[in-house]
Amino acid sequence: MRVVAGAATDVGRVRERNEDAFVARNPLFAVADGMGGHQGGEVASRVALEVLAAGAGEALGAEPSPEGLAEVVGRANAAVLAQAAGDQSLSGMGTTITAAVLTDGRMHLVHVGDSRAYLLRDGRLTRLTEDHTLVQRLVNEGKLTPQEAEIHPHRSVLTRALGVEADVEIDRMSEDVRTGDRILLCSDGLTSMVPEEEITRLLAGHDDPQAAAEALVTAANDAGGVDNITAVVLFVLEGEEAAGGGPRAYVQPASSPVRPAAPPGPRRRGRALAALAAIVIALVAVGVGARAFVYRQWFVGVHEGRVALFQGMPVQVLGVRLNRLVEVTDLSAEEAQRLRPWRDLDEGITAQSEAGARGIIATIERDLQLAQGQETQRPGPSPEDQGGSG
Ligand code: MG
């Protein structure tokens, strides 16, 4: 058995920075999706994977096990916490991690957060990891269907991440792997944009894992590319393992500028208020870490008729707002809501970072300019003359 790997990552079409990172260094493969203000997200995912890559050799040298791998992930958690504690500008940063080691026909997997691992075998795609998100919790409790969870506007709210608390619960598992298996590790920027049927088709439809990884990233961008996208693809083949194989070492992608985005974007359909209330109840149930999670969230909403940036979640519980207003733009919320992608703006469009939320505002602004451009043929008062009180 030998493993051939491919990997691709991209900033997407809305975000200003790529906070994802990956490792593809046979036999260690991992994806991390960082979050946090300023450069926190990039630092968190990079630090976590550096510690993982450094520790994996010794921990896995003799007898690879999920426990050994989890022990290293525990150290990565401590390293992210320590770095955040030592630098005010990195405070509140965190990261997901989904890591696999493949040796001797076994795959050992550890996982925290909402990146995912999939196995494609005999044409069937199986999700190996469970998202540590509030919407997944609601699915487990029967309050949301998996289909509703996939498109839920608040699906990015994590219940577990590295860099939040000293004690992090790490999912761990082992799977047999066989010749012909294909394995995918990916960030939520892929799975929130591309349905699993399409992921199956693209994973199965390429002879080369690098081509498959790039096709998956392209599909996510074609669907709107609202988040950073990372895919690590492994093909399990017959034959001998080449020593030190693997496509490339650990990569921290460079930030790249915002690219023009596709107009339609994803469906940000507002879900029922009942589901939102259930999220709040779940938040309370999460307990200690809940406040940290709430204030790690950002969203774009409406304040006095204008598009505005908020930190927190777009909800109110017993009269207590779980958010604070950060900035009010001069963009008209009413005009934005006339455009299909933004019609649920008043319910709040969530993001995992300030940069992500600002990317959404930039996209709204561009969409408004496009819409106004289409109206310039007919004369009328300038937009400034129509505004309400600020
Ligand atoms: Mg993400």
Q: What would the DSSP string read from start to end of 138-185?
A: HHHTTSS-HHHHHT-TTTT-BS--BTS-SS---EEEEEE--TT-EEEE
44, 50, 89 from 166: Cα distances, Å: 15, 18, 20
**Span from the CA of 384 to the centroid of ligand 1 (angstroms):** 36
- Cα-to-centroid distance, 33 and ligand 1 (Å): 5
Tell me, what DSSP letter sits at residue 263? S
Tell me the CA–centroid distance for residue 227 and ligand 1, in Å.
Answer: 6
Residue type, 148: E
| Dist. CA 117–CA 114, nearest whole Å | 10
- Encoding tokens for residue 100? 């696999």
What's the pLDDT tens digit per position in 351-377? 878 888 898 999 899 888 888 876 554
Ligand 1 centre to CA of 115 (Å) is 8
Residue 330: name the closest of 292, 361, 295 by CA: 361
- pTM of the model as a whole: 0.69
3-state secondary structure of 49: helix
Q: Separation of 255 CA from ligand 1 center, angstroms?
A: 15
pLDDT tens-digit profile, the chain (390 residues): 899 999 999 999 888 889 999 999 989 999 999 987 678 899 999 999 999 998 877 666 667 788 889 999 999 999 999 999 998 888 888 999 999 999 889 999 999 999 999 999 999 999 999 999 888 888 888 888 888 887 777 777 788 899 988 999 999 999 999 999 999 999 999 999 999 999 999 999 999 999 999 999 999 999 989 899 999 999 999 987 654 444 444 444 433 333 333 333 333 333 344 555 556 556 655 543 455 566 677 889 999 999 999 988 877 665 567 788 999 999 999 999 988 778 889 888 888 788 888 989 998 998 888 888 765 544 444 444 444 443
Q: How far is the CA of 232 from the centre of ligand 1 (A)?
A: 14
Q: How far is the CA of 155 from the centre of ligand 1 (A)?
A: 11
Q: First and final CA of the chain: distance in angstroms?
A: 66
- Exposure class string for 59-79: b at 16+ Cβ within 10 A, else e: bbeeebbbebbbebbbbbbeb
**Coil, helix or strand at residue 358:** helix
Please report, as a single letter, which amino acid is at residue 101: V
Distance 329 CA to ligand 1 centre (A): 25
Ligand 1 center to residue 370 CA distance, Å?
27
Which H or E element spans position 293?
A: helix 290-296
Locate 63 and state its tokens.
């007898």
- Determine the distance separating the centroid of ligand 1 and the alpha carbon of 112, expressed in angstroms: 13
Helices 209-222 and 196-204: crossing angle in degrees, nearest 10, is: 150
Ligand 1 centroid distance, CA of 187 (Å): 6
Ligand 1: distance of its center to the CA of 66 in Å?
24
- Rounded CA separation 109/69 (Å): 8
Taking the centre of ligand 1 as the mean of its atom positions, its distance from the CA of residue 316, in whole angstroms, is 25
Q: How far is the CA of 231 from the centre of ligand 1 (A)?
A: 12
**Ligand 1 centroid from CA 389, angstroms:** 37
User: How many Å apart are CA 330 and CA 308, to the nearest integer?
Assistant: 9
- Ligand 1 center to 230 CA (angstroms): 9
- What single-letter DSSP state applies at residue 119? E
Contacting residues for 319 by C-beta, under 8 A, at least 6 apart: none
